[in-house]
Amino acid sequence: MTEVERRRASRVNPYFEQLADEAGSLLPNLPAVEAPGRVQDVDHWGRSARWRELSRVLYEPMYRYFFRVDAEGLENVPAEGGALLVANHSGVIPPDAAAIMHAIETELGRPVYGLAEHLFKTVPYVSVAWARVGGVSAHPENAHRLLHDEHQLALVFPEGAKGPAKTFRERYQLRRFGRGGFVEVAMRAGVPVVPIAFVGGEEAMPNLANIPGVAKAFGLPFAPIPVPFYLPAKMRFKVLPPVNFPDKPNLPRYSKGRVMEYADTIRDMIQQEIYAMLRDRRSVWFG
């Protein structure tokens, strides 16, 4: 620094120091000002209570008058504590998750987090909207935190992408429930599995056929030829009694044989209930 700059700094600095002292004496007396419109209601999962409320308002006419959803057995959903809700999956853009989450949140007042493919997290804009309405990547650690640590309800579809990939001819024939990972998650968290049988999604947006080779070429889970819009199929679902496990939670390992046995039992419970609901159904459109 030159002599001129030093002199200039010596003349200027005391002036700014005086201003800073005066400002500091005034600041404690100023009222706190909050930025307008910045009410933060997004939790650490990205779920927004306001977004969920808005989505329920917008979805209510479709739920009530288009799909005319009948929800049975809601009393089997625990009023408190964690529980893993497990349902069959169907329709090219499956309507089941929205209907189940809407019914439980509206009727029981408990929030529901939907566990789904990580693929949703990779789609711009969709990933944010999906998180805001309660979507969470279906990773065992995420599920454990929701169920064990936070005592929340989590909804999962063990058929995964194999469910929506079923063609119309294959409707209501449940695919294998993966390797039973959902059972191990529930056992480790010490919570029950609550099975749910869902009917109507297969007809709401059916998959007419799968395009051979396209899914593999583009890295997609399946490549359907769908009906390009929802049809007003009558939808019903039934919540079955919870399945509790005698195994202690948080064990380092669980028997794969027992896990698969439980998974097959739960899958069979849902399958048999679906067959019973289909036998009682008068028509696809009127229930």
Q: How far apart are the first and last CA of the chain?
A: 87
Residue type, 78: P
**Which DSSP symbol is given to 130?**
H
Strand, coil or helix: 206: coil
Q: What is the pLDDT of residue 103?
A: 98
Q: What is the pLDDT of residue 33?
A: 43
Q: What is the pLDDT of residue 90?
A: 82
Q: Rounded to an integer, what distance in angstroms lies between the CA atom of residue 2 and that of residue 17?
A: 22
Q: What is the pLDDT of residue 37?
A: 47
Is residue 92 within 8 Å of residue 120, measured between CB atoms?
no
Q: What is the pLDDT of residue 162?
A: 86
- What angle (nearest 5°) sits at the alpha carbon of residue 139, between those of residues 135 and 141? 110
Tens-place pLDDT, residues 159-183: 988 888 888 999 999 999 988 999 9
Handedness of CA 115, 237, 133, 221 (dihedral sign): positive
Q: What is the pLDDT of residue 32?
A: 45
Q: Rounded to an integer, what distance in angstroms lies between the CA atom of residue 133 and that of residue 56?
A: 10
Q: How far is CA 122 from CA 162, 181, 226, in A?
A: 20, 23, 23
All structural domains of the chain, each given as residue ranges with its CATH number in brackets, are 49-280 (3.40.1130.10)
- The 3-state DSSP composition of the chain as helix, strand, coil percent (nearest 5) reads 45, 15, 40
Q: What is the pLDDT of residue 161?
A: 82
Tokens coding 275: 């067959």
Q: Within 13 Å of residue 110, how many CA atoms lie on the same side as its CB?
A: 22
Q: Rounded to an integer, what distance in angstroms lies between the CA atom of residue 118 and that of residue 129?
A: 14
Q: Rounded to an integer, what distance in angstroms lies between the CA atom of residue 112 and that of residue 108?
A: 10
Q: What is the pLDDT of residue 92?
A: 84
Q: What is the pLDDT of residue 240?
A: 98
Q: Which residues of the chain have pLDDT under 50?
A: 3-4, 6-17, 19-20, 22-38
Q: What is the pLDDT of residue 35?
A: 43
